[in-house]
Amino acid sequence: MLLSASTSAAPVLPHTPMLSKHLGLLTRISMACRTTTKCLAQTDLLGHVYDNINMVFKIAEQILGRTDSQENGTCATVFPLFEASDKDMKTKDLLASQESAPPLSIRDIILTSEEEMFLHTCLIHTITCIIVKFGGPAFACFDEDVAASTPITSKQIPIHKMETYPLSAMNIDKSSRMGNAEVIDTIFKEFGYIAANKKSHGKVKIIHGDQLSVSRIRSIMANRVGHDSIDSSYLNVVCGPGLFHAQLHAVFGTLQTH
């Protein structure tokens, strides 16, 4: 089921056996997932992740005038934020902290002696894991010992199962600044963030994507700030790289910096 920025909320369909028989299985699954996710947005503060999807449709046979076609869209998933309270997610507190934040300095990225020791321990453990995993049977017997020696930081959150909820695919190409803005507007409209959702009113919105999407969203913020409202200029949005992209950046940044 495809969405666009102009798509209105899903129509309320009467639950009659006659109508259900005319809906395909995929359509009914999509509607059920969409309803569940929209209900979740009314009770929980959510994190949002989106990325592009690309599909190439091959022609069945070589005929003059027929060529392969590629369709580009966007998919998104949301998840409840772990132990996120309303008082800790206020937009006004975010803006106040940004106003009072001092300029960045080189000391903000220099590790302390304790952090350097912990980083050194983590690097050694990573190398050990690689040796045990890919070193063959001679090293495989140390798998449990390596797992037991995993470095632990006090900043980690408790182990828990993260529930994920899909959104309907969007017929939006996010390869531009306006495309990313359209994706965010569509997600926010789907959940009623603009007006109807009381749970999210005045709260920070967490959005994850690839590095290029994050850069484009921040560019839109810079262009709209002072001209549009807080919601329209995305000043209530905090961006970050998705898990896959965060791991790539963490490895690259660690090796390059240290």
DSSP 53-80: EEEEE--SS--TT---EEEEEEEEEEEE
- Count the Cβ atoms, other than its own, within 10 Å of residue 34: 19
- Measured between alpha carbons, how far is 221 from 157 in angstroms, rounded to an integer? 30
Average pLDDT over residues 11-26: 57
Length of the chain measured in residues: 258
User: How far apart, in Å, do the first and last CA atoms of the chain sit?
Assistant: 46
Q: Where are the domains of the chain?
A: 17-55+69-83+165-248, 106-156
Six-digit token string for 90: 């206020």
Letter for the amino acid at 214? V
pTM for the predicted model, two decimal places: 0.73
CB-based contact 92:202 (threshold 8 Å): yes
Six-digit token string for 171: 């017929």
In sequence order, what are the residues at sequence separation of 6 or more whose Cβ sits closer than 8 angstroms to the Cβ of residue 143? 132, 133
Output the pLDDT for position 10. 42
84-111 pLDDT, tens digit each: 888 999 999 999 998 999 998 988 888 8
Tell me 48's DSSP state: E
Name beta bridge partners: 71. Answer: 55
Angle value at C-alpha 133, between 119 and 250, nearest 5 degrees? 35
Output the pLDDT for position 120. 92
Output the pLDDT for position 185. 92
- % of the chain at pLDDT higher than 90: 28
Q: How high does pLDDT run on average in the chain?
A: 83
- Measured between alpha carbons, how far is 140 from 200 in angstroms, rounded to an integer? 49
33-51 pLDDT, tens digit each: 889 998 888 889 999 999 8
- Measured between alpha carbons, how far is 123 from 254 in angstroms, rounded to an integer? 10
Average pLDDT over residues 161-181: 88
Residue closest to 141 by CA, chosen among 152, 131, 126: 131
Letter for the amino acid at 203? K
pLDDT band at residue 243 using 50, 70 and 90 as cut-offs: confident
Tell me 155's DSSP state: T
